[in-house]
Structure 1
Amino acid sequence: MDRLAALLSSFHLAASVFNAGPLCYSSRHPAQAGMGFVHILTHGSVHLGLADGTQRRFDEPVLILLAAGDAHRLEPGPQGTETLCGSFRFGAGNLCPIYRALPALLVIPLDRLSGMAGLLDLMQAEMREQRCGRQATLDRLCELLVIQLLRYLMDAGEVDSGLLAGLAHSRLTKALIAMHDRPAADWTLRGLATEAGMSRARFASVFRDTVGQPPAEYLAQYRLSLAKTLLRDGLPLDTIADRVGYSSPSALAKVFRRHTGHSPLEWRSADAEASPSGQETRGADRDIPD
């Protein structure tokens, strides 16, 4: 039973490492919706500045995950700083349920990530050697690191609400996987409760308290996110409606209008015009205070 397979298949993950080695000067990262960052301090110290004015200093090897899409700044410490920094995005940007479930800021000392020690050692070895294919290798390893972090967040109980908390729940995860694997199925509260091995009332209560929304609302949101992703991929409306559980393109269009104020084709056109690359961006970046 793979908790992430359907999500990673539907919302493709891509990562890119942009600093691997000494951090010699302050680096600013503007706000960008749907973009996450991983900063690994391997040597020295670093200052982190957030858009809300928060300032933090780290003097020990640490992994910093930022997934709020907010602006931030990294500044090297006085004794030299070595970092491995990358950005990541799921195919649907901030539409992706996984991205929405990530904590805005997470700081994990590297010595707590014993299960990732081999991967982190491999990334650091690649970082310190100028071998052919270095950038592509680091990018692929960064994607693997994000997946490993998702596992860590579920298995270590680092999140107590939202999708990842639901996937960490021994019973709710069965219903969530069923929804993710078969979004077009005619799901009922009874059917989802049966998947979870719970009574309807108990399932509805535990799901709401853990995931943060009722099962029907989560399913509708998931289907809509998947439909938007398929629209971006250029699939025809009848195919999309069939894949996400709507009886016809008109039924899908009705849901789109209710949630977005636009028809599916209007939404796709506006989305493409706002971001030609098909990735959502913010209209105005929020700068970071010095």
Structure 2
Amino acid sequence: MSPHAETIADWLLSGLELKSTIFHVGQYCGAWQASTAGRHRASFHLALHGECWLHLPANAERAAQSLRLAPGDAVFLLHDMPHCLSPDPRPPASGHESERIGTMSPLTSPADALAPADGSVGIACGFFEFNSGLDDMLLSLLPDHIVARRDNPSLDGARAIFDLIRAEALRDVQTPSPLIARLTDLLFVYVLRAVAGRDEIAPCFWSLMRRPEFAPLVAAIIEAPAERWTTDTMASFVHMSRARFCKQFVDISGQPPAQFVTLVRMKMAAAMLRGGSSMPDAAERVGYQSESAFAQAFKRVTGVQPGAYRRRAVKSPEKQAPAAINRPVAALH
């Protein structure tokens, strides 16, 4: 990953404010089908042992996919979306992609993780909770799903993390270790590296990281959001005409450059407001001379006025914790 991409990965992760992860760990045998769809949360699946297939139905942006998962592979679904895991390379019938079939049993440690003698498949599943008020827009900068392969050279460090996750999962097969949540947070950092290196990703913000003319611009905007980043100044930064710059930025990232600049500014402003800064100070630090214009932009991005956001952020953690974090999750079978 380039230095620019490292800077941007850190910026993105700090904005997502991962709050909690809820896990279900175990294994399947025989005919089965598992899914975390329909719960209105981002989710992930880790293949602990054995092999299975991830099935994704077609949507407006891509064709249907069936992807083989080997031990050590990780799938991050950054939006709630129809999908399933199964031992069958053939996808389920249309409309049945998110059904759950079979029963998950306690995890075991097979002698051969690549091809267990009993044909079992070990899986760790979880849900991401975000608490930033900006998560929808920040997640829109990424593909809807990411598959991180254990054998990906850019994920060397992730292999050690995965081994720790698997070891923690086997310590108590009845109650997943809370350390799995922290380790998976770290694994997500490495997953962003996998995104930056993918050739086949659909148009999204991370596609810009593969273009040497755009990565320095994105890093510069993140590092100095208060600068006067007009379309003309951004085009000049990358030595392009205004028309060519706008077309390429939209084609590659899927959104206009002005929208990205606004998101960067509102992310910084939100962090300042959570830290106790006043609205005038936050507005000035992100390049707004008019508090009214700042308030309108902030509400457009976050859905709330900056004053209300600040008041909510300074409440005690107990008062502002999302209720969903404390709700039990049904078994994924």
Compute the TM-score of the two structures, normalised by the length of structure 2: 0.64
Q: CA deviation at 1:37?
A: 1.3
1: CA distance, partners of 2:99 / 2:310: 33
Letter in 2 for 1:165: S
Partner of 1:135, secondary structure, is: coil
Q: How do 1:40-79 residues align onto structure 2 when only pairs under 5 Å count?
A: 40-44=46-50, 60-61=70-71, 62-70=73-81, 75=101, 79=119
Greater mean deviation of Cα atoms: 180-189 or 89-98: 89-98
Given that 1:88 and 1:143 are in contact with CA atoms closer than 8 Å, whether structure 2 keeps it comes out as no
Aligned-pair identity in percent equals: 27
Partner of 1:101, secondary structure, is: coil
Given that 1:19 and 1:86 are in contact with CA atoms closer than 8 Å, whether structure 2 keeps it comes out as yes
2:145 pairs, out of 105, 109, 118, with 105
* Partner of residue 21, structure 2: 16
2:265 pairs, out of 223, 226, 231, with 223
Structure 1 or 2, whichever has the larger Rg, is 2
User: 2:219 matched to 1:177?
Assistant: yes
Letter in 1 for 2:143: P
Structure 1 unaligned spans of 5+:
282-289
Q: CA deviation at 1:216?
A: 1.7
1: CA distance, partners of 2:252 / 2:166: 37
Given that 2:15 and 2:267 are in contact with CA atoms closer than 8 Å, whether structure 1 keeps it comes out as no
* Partner of residue 254, structure 2: 212
2: CA distance, partners of 1:51 / 1:206: 29
* Partner of residue 233, structure 2: 191
1: CA distance, partners of 2:269 / 2:254: 22
Q: CA deviation at 1:82?
A: 1.2
1: CA distance, partners of 2:164 / 2:302: 44
1:117 pairs, out of 147, 159, 184, with 159
Greater mean deviation of Cα atoms: 210-219 or 257-266: 257-266
1: CA distance, partners of 2:280 / 2:219: 25
CA gap of 1:215–1:50, structure 2 versus 1, over 3 A, is: closer
CA gap of 1:241–1:59, structure 2 versus 1, over 3 A, is: closer
Partner of 1:223, secondary structure, is: helix
1:83 pairs, out of 106, 120, 123, with 123
CA gap of 1:26–1:210, structure 2 versus 1, over 3 A, is: closer
Q: CA deviation at 1:164?
A: 0.8
Letter in 1 for 2:128: F
Structure 2 unaligned spans of 5+:
83-97, 105-117, 325-332
* Per-residue deviation, residues 1-31 of structure 1 (Å, max 9, x unmatched): 3232223334333453513443699876464
* Partner of residue 5, structure 1: 10
1: CA distance, partners of 2:37 / 2:311: 26
**Aligned residues, how many?**
275
Q: How do 1:235-250 residues align onto structure 2 when only pairs under 5 Å count?
A: 235-250=277-292
* Per-residue deviation, residues 72-124 of structure 1 (Å, max 9, x unmatched): 56656895331122323444266355422333234455445763333322322
* Partner of residue 285, structure 1: none
Q: How do 1:158-177 residues align onto structure 2 when only pairs under 5 Å count?
A: 158-177=200-219
Partner of 2:21, secondary structure, is: strand
Compute the TM-score of the two structures, normalised by the length of structure 1: 0.72
Letter in 1 for 2:80: G
User: 2:160 matched to 1:155?
Assistant: no
